Amino acid sequence: MVLISTIHQSKWIYYGYGYVFILSIIGVIISFQMNPIASHKREKRVLIVSASSPSNVGYKRQEQLLTKGKKGMKERDLIIYRLYDGSWLDHKNEPLDEEQAKAIRKAYKIPEGTFSVTLVGKDGGVKLAKDDLVPTRELFQLIDSMPMRKEEMNRGI
């Protein structure tokens, strides 16, 4: 009887670990789906510009720099997400919901209330994170030094 009880208990422990594993996987999938930037992996580079509001001086200056570099951004498959405190815009200037914005901030460690610029590569990794202006020349040089971009340039993309 003791042997049967021990086998029965170990069976439930085994199943318990299985459930924990499955729930962990579901959590990762849900957080992946909530972060809209993840959908651009392997297709686009993403620049996340964060500020307390669109009237933030640093934000305005960064936007001016980016406006001047639109051609270079297009050549490098670079899109922009804008995060403010209380409102958020995707690369098409369409509003994001709060959960998506939280997922982006969490994934890339972007605090609220501060000006910052974060570059996410096509591989999904953070390539640059600054709390200061990033001139497009610096941004383009960084991107052009990346192996994936070098390959694109060699193929004429």
- Tokens for 90? 């995707």
Kindly list the averaged pLDDT for each block of 10 residues, start to end, along the chain of length 157: 55 56 42 79 97 96 97 97 95 95 96 96 97 98 95 86
What is the reported pLDDT for 26?
40
What is the reported pLDDT for 156?
81
What is the reported pLDDT for 24?
42
What is the reported pLDDT for 34?
86
What is the reported pLDDT for 18?
52
What is the reported pLDDT for 129?
98
Domains of the chain in sequence order: 36-155 (3.40.30.10)
Spatial CA neighbour of 58 closest among 95, 87, 84: 84
Q: How many CA atoms lie within 13 A of 81 on its CB side?
A: 28
Spatial CA neighbour of 90 closest among 123, 149, 49, 133: 49
- Asked if residues 83 and 48 have their Cβ atoms less than 8 Å apart, the reply is yes
Q: Which residue has the tokens 């922009």?
A: 80
What is the reported pLDDT for 5?
55
Long-range pairs of 107-111 with CB within 8 A, sequence gap ≥ 24: 107/31, 107/35, 107/37, 107/38, 108/37, 108/48, 110/48, 110/50, 110/83
